[in-house]
Chains A and B, each alone.
Chain A
């Protein structure tokens, strides 16, 4: 199994509806990043969470970090076609390990008009 599990793998949502994507780690989370990717393109940074209980918002996207559950959730309110894409979570490895981010496999979001 992967160190970072994203759920669901894909999601089809009616425009205007709310949705939630989860990212669960099998190890302690030190820093959690959310990125969005349009098909075949690079990743765009959305937000970074570092402390347990931290919550950040950017326009209609809100992300939270639950340190105890080793989980982060990304919530989109009143979804729009522009929200469609692949959402990836990444997490810092512990500081006594090598320098790198680990990544989830992504959640593909489709918005139905």
Chain B
């Protein structure tokens, strides 16, 4: 248990569905991250939030929409996804944004059908 909780753990959705992934941390961290992990590829950083402000958006398609209502919660809203978006989505948090250890959630295994 790392202190970062992601729900749901597994999600199957159709290409026309709208769903949301949730991440929660009560570690008092100021930075939160969304990563995408596909088979045999390096982790892809999607979004970074620092003190609830988005500081990084790595050219992620608009069908992925992040939301950080407060420093403990991070959402990833999904709509009209493609099959190639199927992957493990990992949330992480860290005390600061740069040069600090990150704590990861267990991930959400997303399958788009």
Chain A residues at the B interface, C-beta cutoff of 8 Å:
2, 4, 30-31, 33, 35, 40-45, 48, 50, 88, 90, 92, 95, 98-106
Contact = CB atoms under 8 A, between A and B. Distances in A.
A2 B88 CA distance: 20
A32 B4 CA distance: 22
Interface stretch (B12-20, B71-79, B102-110): B102-110
Contact of B45 (A43, A50, A101): A101
Interface in B77-113: 88, 90, 92, 97-99, 101-107, 109
B105 A42 contact: yes
Contact of B102 (A40, A98, A101): A101
Nearest to B98: A99
A50 to B, nearest CB: 8
Contacts of A4: 42
Contact of A92 (B45, B48, B98): B98
